[in-house]
Amino acid sequence: MIQFSLKCDRGHRFDSWFQSSAAFEKLQAAGMISCAVCGSTQVEKGIMAPRVADSRSKADKAEQPPEQDRPLSAPANPAEQALAEMRKQIEKNSEYVGTNFAREARRMHSGESPERSIHGEAKPDEARKLIEDGVPITPLPFMPGRKSN
């Protein structure tokens, strides 16, 4: 196993473990690695320093105070914190319909399906067509949870 320091295109930094460098490359190429904070799939390796074991004994290490680490997915600033809270509320109060979003939104708009809060995924051309047809939708500023690390 190898730990990589990762960075998304929005500047968020986080760490993740991979079986090998080749495994990271394969997952990255498939778009299966996403930012732990915002969900962006534009993730690359950050600058890393190798880990070298020191020669201190276990007793010496036990005397050292524990590091204060914040969770890797914790928002770094108030704007990210607000987005994280918004995501939490949307996921709590709406139904995830996955890639059926466009179809389900259209069915609700036409009265074929009961109205309710939904979220999901739509291709850009599907979303554009929904807007053109007067179906009220709003793009969300995060990726769906299933694509998160």
**Rounded-to-5 percentages of helix, strand, coil across the chain:** 35, 15, 50
How do the domains of the chain map onto residue ranges?
2-45, 78-139
pLDDT digits (tens, 9 = 90+) for 20-41: 888 888 988 888 888 888 888 8
Q: Is the pLDDT of residue 61 over 60?
A: no
CB atoms closer than 10 angstroms to residue 73: 14
Mean pLDDT of the residues in the chain: 81
What pLDDT, on the 0 to 100 scale, is given for residue 125?
93
Q: Do 73 and 14 contact (CB within 8 A), yes or no? A: yes
pTM above 0.95, yes or no: no
Q: Do 1 and 17 contact (CB within 8 A), yes or no? A: yes
| Residue that wins the pLDDT comparison between 82 and 55 | 82
What pLDDT, on the 0 to 100 scale, is given for residue 131?
92
For residues 37 and 137, what is the distance between their CA atoms, to the nearest angstrom?
24
The token duo for 22 is 């080749």
C-alpha neighbours within 13 Å on the C-beta side of residue 75: 13
What pLDDT, on the 0 to 100 scale, is given for residue 21?
84
What pLDDT, on the 0 to 100 scale, is given for residue 3?
84
